Amino acid sequence: MAVDFDKLPPLGRLRAIMAYLRAEDGCQWDRSQTHSSLIPYLIEETYEVIEKIEAGDIPKLKEELGDLLLQIYFHARIAEENEHFDIDDVASGICDKLIRRHPHIFGEKKQLNPQEVRDQWEKIKVESNEKESVLAGVPKSMPALILAYRVGEKAAGVGFDWKDPRDIFAKFKEEIAELEKEFSAEDIGGLTDELGDLIFALVNLSRKVGINPEQALRRTVTKFIGRFEYIENSLKRDGRAFSETDLDEMERLWQEAKKYRR
């Protein structure tokens, strides 16, 4: 019996379309996919959502969120076919978790600020044995900058944190001195460790002052690309290659780019 997709509510329609595509007479590409084969698409769609958020492109954000939602329904459909769980189980699980993690809303009413809410989440996860460890649940495959941020955030949730962000500047000085020592010793292993320690301290400062380090670095990289392209285009207009200029001229063009883009 043919399904009239247009008569279904949006989420029910998406679920039905996904089931139809995975059926025996459905799309061969969709039928061939597995949880593992879909990983690259899940990652790609997530980054496309991030890109639209950072660009402030709300119409495109709606579209990209739809693409990401498709990935969730895709995984849920595969699981349903294998009698593991379905999309209703996914929704039910997150609903239960939201209620459990917000006792200040769904239990005894309390006014908590955002940081207190985050700290409460981490304590609930550990005390309820939902997580075996405070740091459990942070995927080690995450980009290192985000991983560092989340690890620091989780440790802070149980009180292991600097009380004042200004205290971290002393840590910077300590790590820079150790970095210079390893650099002078030409010890690559030690230099790698100390560079990591310094970056981790920077990530913790960003967390304490409410700045996402990933976004901050991406912003800086975007500025660098724009300014470097200004240098490149300036040389092209003059019919010259990078080999036909020097660092002093490139620095002059770099300063021009800063003024121009500002």
Give the CATH number for residue 72: 1.10.287.1080
CA quadruple 106, 109, 115, 117: dihedral, nearest 10: -20
Q: What pLDDT does residue 25 have?
A: 92
User: How would you write the pLDDT of the chain (262 residues) with one tens digit per residue?
Assistant: 467 888 899 999 999 999 999 999 999 999 999 999 999 899 999 999 988 998 899 999 999 999 999 999 999 999 999 999 999 999 999 999 999 989 999 998 889 888 888 888 877 877 777 767 778 778 888 889 989 999 998 888 888 899 999 999 999 999 999 999 999 999 999 999 999 999 999 999 999 998 989 889 988 999 999 999 999 999 999 999 999 999 999 999 999 998 876 5
Establish if 210 belongs to a structural domain.
no
| pTM as predicted | 0.65
DSSP 27: -
DSSP 29: H
Domain that holds residue 219: 215-261
Residue ending a domain, among 68, 101, 134, is: 101
Residue ending a domain, among 38, 70, 101, is: 101
Residue ending a domain, among 80, 101, 122, is: 101
Q: How many domains does the chain have?
A: 2
Establish if 195 belongs to a structural domain.
no
What is the C-alpha to C-alpha distance for residues 218 and 208, in angstroms, rounded to an integer?
A: 19
